[in-house]
Amino acid sequence: MKKYETTEPAQTQALAEKIAALAKPGLVITLNGDLGAGKTTFTKGFAQALGVTDRVKSPTFNILNTYETGRIPLYHFDAYRLEESGAADQGFEDYLGTDGVSLIEWPQFMADLLPNDRLVMTFERGGRGENDRVITVKGLGRAEAIEEGLS
Ligand code: ADP
Ligand code: MG
């Protein structure tokens, strides 16, 4: 596991940029953490690093937003609203682990669909200041190489 401390959104996005540079089609990244921890901020940095030209919005109301304008397709999930309905039968398998990179906020609500090979990230408020965040990165299976590639 690798651990990072950021003190402003731009630093969280700089970490996203480093991970995006290592990303290959099929990568799944789970973004764990409370509301306001920085998951969507990270995703925006990731999208920018892939060369996505669209504005990245929080997909809370439609669960999945897809962006096709970058180096690799980006599939941005926010599974929060699946807590009640469940994640089955919505076609998410057509995206996860396929030709794009999937970034998943609230992954616990689509746990049954997550591949074993994935990059697990956690976001927490921490440290002293309002803008301090502690971020961890753990690679499972084939995603181990990504963790190892980070400084
Ligand atoms: P989440 O998607 O986890 O609910 P967001 O990324 O939408 O969180 O919101 C995080 C908020 O915290 C944003 O307003 C962002 O500007 C702010 N913020 C402050 N410091 C940081 C930091 N170090 N990393 C990420 N976001 C930060
Ligand atoms: Mg969010």
For residue range 33-52, list pLDDT tens digits in order: 999 999 999 999 999 999 99
Ligand 1 pocket by C-beta < 6 Å: which residues? Answer: 6-9, 11-12, 33, 35-41, 105, 123, 131, 133
**pLDDT at residue number 146:** 98
**pLDDT at residue number 23:** 98
pLDDT at 60 over 90: no
- CA dihedral (15, 124, 137, 80) positive or negative: negative
67-126 pLDDT per residue, tens: 999 999 999 999 999 988 899 999 999 999 999 999 999 999 999 999 999 999 999 998
Mutation choice for ligand 1 from 6, 34, 39, 41, CB with most ligand atoms inside 8 A? 41
Ligand nearest to the CA of 39: 1
27-38 pLDDT per residue, tens: 999 999 999 999
pLDDT at 134 over 90: yes
**Cβ neighbour number for residue 61 with a 10 Å cutoff:** 10
Q: Whose CA is nearest to atom 22 of ligand 1?
A: 9
What is the pTM assigned to this prediction?
Answer: 0.97
ipTM score over 0.95, yes or no: yes
Full set of structural domains in the chain with CATH? 2-149 (3.40.50.300)
Q: Per-residue DSSP letters for the chain?
A: -EEEEESSHHHHHHHHHHHHHH--TT-EEEEE--TTSSHHHHHHHHHHHHT--SPP---TTTSEEEE-SSSS-EEEEEGGGHHHH-STTSSGGGTTTSSSEEEEESGGGGGGG--SSEEEEEEEE-SSSTT-EEEEEEEEGGGHHHHHH--
**pLDDT at residue number 42:** 98
